[in-house]
Amino acid sequence: MPTDLLQTLLTNLWVFFLVVVLFGGSIFVHELGHFLAARKRGAHVERFSIGFGPPIFKWRGKDGVEYRVSWFPLGGYVLLPQLADLGPIEGESRTDVAKLPPVDYTTKMIVFVAGAAFNILFAFLLACIVWIVGQPVTSELTSTTVAEVLPTIENADGVMVPSPASQAGLKPGDIVVAVDGSPVTTFEDITEHLALSSGWSKGQRKTVFRIKRGDETVELPLQPVLSGNEKMRKVGFRPARRFIIDSVTAGSLADKAGFRPNDQIVEVDGKKTLSRTQLSDALRAALGKQVSITVRRNEGTQTLAFALPKETNADIGIIFRSGLVYSHPSPISQIADCLVKTFRTFWALINPKSDIGFSHLSGPIGIIDNFVAVSRAGLPLALWFTILVNVNLAVFNLLPIPVLDGGQMLFATIGRLRGRPLPVSFIMTAQSVFLVLLFSMVLYVSVFDVRRIVRDAKDQRAAEAAAAPAQPAPGQPLAPAPTPAPAPGK
């Protein structure tokens, strides 16, 4: 078997394994929480199922519980006839509930909340691993410094319009410190706040960047435009990245000029190099001439000068470090960050001034596709995504909506306050209605998931066909080469 084919096969098997363990594990731990809490509190457990619908395979344990794996991996359930009747989802119970002792309110609340609690516990354990091994992110996404301000930006209709960043006066070198009053520390924070923002002024979308420009701090109002296939708010700028030298070839021009590993290139001929484009353009302009390159070394800076060759593909002997950097956030901060993201997204969904709708959400198809994508990118990123999914799952299940755990807790609480349980007919009707609504929503977002997957596949093929070498790329030699591919921009 050819080496490339074997490597591809092993990679796909590893990705499949991660998806099964991490996605399936997220569902399993949720149901395990219900199961263990019910057994601990003495409630009767009839069935433990991963997935819905007819079983792929099943068996009955010595404890009398039927364990099964079902065909539709949209979640799972523990059949608890004393606590809730969810026959349309879980199948009819064969247990005569009248012969079982009633369960008290405390037991119901503990059992219903246990699923979400186990998701948070699972997320915390994974966060401990990420804390140790590190959370990878590209160097552009760790910066809030503006590298380039785009003069124009394509709106959702495909029309090029003046970029809000250029119109508002945003400048390269500006450092964004807050968006709409909320502090930001990474480009991802800026993207998230911008996408979920809901500001309007005089009939136009509005967001306010607080920027640090030199020694002064400025409030800069911008009017975002909806851009891209997902119609997200964007303003048109790209973040800065760090160009750190990984190695210098012995005897090369760079070696003779005095470049050393860990030097960070910050200027070429007095011009800041905050992006690949700026660095490549500056090098091309100096072909065949004496060039001065300023590097940050230790706590200071140093300017190194040498003559560049005339050839555009000449290697001067510099290899850049990978564009990935690793952070080690504490488990608590990881969970807290995911909670903030989740609640912020929920608020954007219900806020009529927001541009976020259900079409922007991911259903089971989109989540699995994302699991595949992040698993291909490496275990640390897959773990981070699993943490986010588990926190989302915990919060979503505690919403006071019938058929969800929070809905059952709501019914139990109302029954306790009124002194008697709610009528079974009312509960069944409410659950049936919301069951239809829930599956309709899943179907709706799944349509957009499929569209995104197909569109992304087409875009990737087009990008691969039109791709040109981007210089200087991480891990590649520094050379005054053609204009690189664009960096992330918002």
> CA 113 to CA 123: how far, in whole Å?
16
- Which pLDDT score is estimated for 327? 87
pLDDT in tens, 190-231: 999 999 999 998 889 999 999 999 889 999 999 999 998 889
Residue 345 has pLDDT above 50, yes or no: yes
Q: Which residue has the higher pLDDT, 170 or 88?
A: 170
Ranges 117-121, 374-378, 434-438, most confident: 117-121
Q: Which residues contact 108 (CB under 8 A, 6 or more apart)?
A: 83, 408, 409, 412
Residue 378 has pLDDT above 90, yes or no: no
In percent, how much of the chain has pLDDT > 90? 48
* pLDDT class of 483 with cuts at 50, 70, 90: very low
Give me the residues paired with residue 77 across strands: 49
Residue 482 has pLDDT above 90, yes or no: no
- Which pLDDT score is estimated for 427? 85
Please check whether residue 141 is in contact with residue 188, taking contact to mean a CB–CB distance below 8 angstroms: yes
- Which pLDDT score is estimated for 82? 78
**Equal fold, 144-239 vs 242-320+423-490:** yes
Sorted by where each begins, the domain ranges of the chain are 1-137+331-417, 144-239, 242-320+423-490
The helix/strand/coil state of 429 is helix
- Which pLDDT score is estimated for 475? 45
Residue 382 has pLDDT above 70, yes or no: yes
Residue 460 has pLDDT above 90, yes or no: no
Q: Which residue has the higher pLDDT, 285 or 94?
A: 285
- Which pLDDT score is estimated for 449? 93
Q: Does domain 144-239 have CATH number 2.30.42.10?
A: yes
Residue 1 has pLDDT above 60, yes or no: no
The helix/strand/coil state of 104 is coil
- Which pLDDT score is estimated for 308? 86
> CA 231 to CA 234: how far, in whole Å?
9
* CATH architecture classification, 242-320+423-490: Roll (2.30)
* pLDDT class of 50 with cuts at 50, 70, 90: confident
Residue 22 has pLDDT above 50, yes or no: yes
> CA 45 to CA 61: how far, in whole Å?
12
pTM, entire model: 0.83
Q: What is the mean pLDDT of the chain?
A: 86
- Which pLDDT score is estimated for 471? 44
Mean pLDDT to the nearest integer, 9-33: 87
Phi-psi region of 430 (alpha: psi -120 to 50; beta: other; left: phi over 0): alpha
- Which pLDDT score is estimated for 85? 57
CA angle 280, 283, 286 (to 5 degrees): 150
* pLDDT class of 184 with cuts at 50, 70, 90: very high
- Which pLDDT score is estimated for 75? 73
Please state, as a whole number, how many other Cβ atoms lie within 10 Å of the Cβ of residue 267: 19
Please state, as a whole number, how many other Cβ atoms lie within 10 Å of the Cβ of residue 152: 12
Mean pLDDT to the nearest integer, 335-347: 94
208-236 exposure pattern, b = at least 16 Cβ within 10 A, e = fewer: bbbbbeeeeeeebebbbbebeeebbbbbb
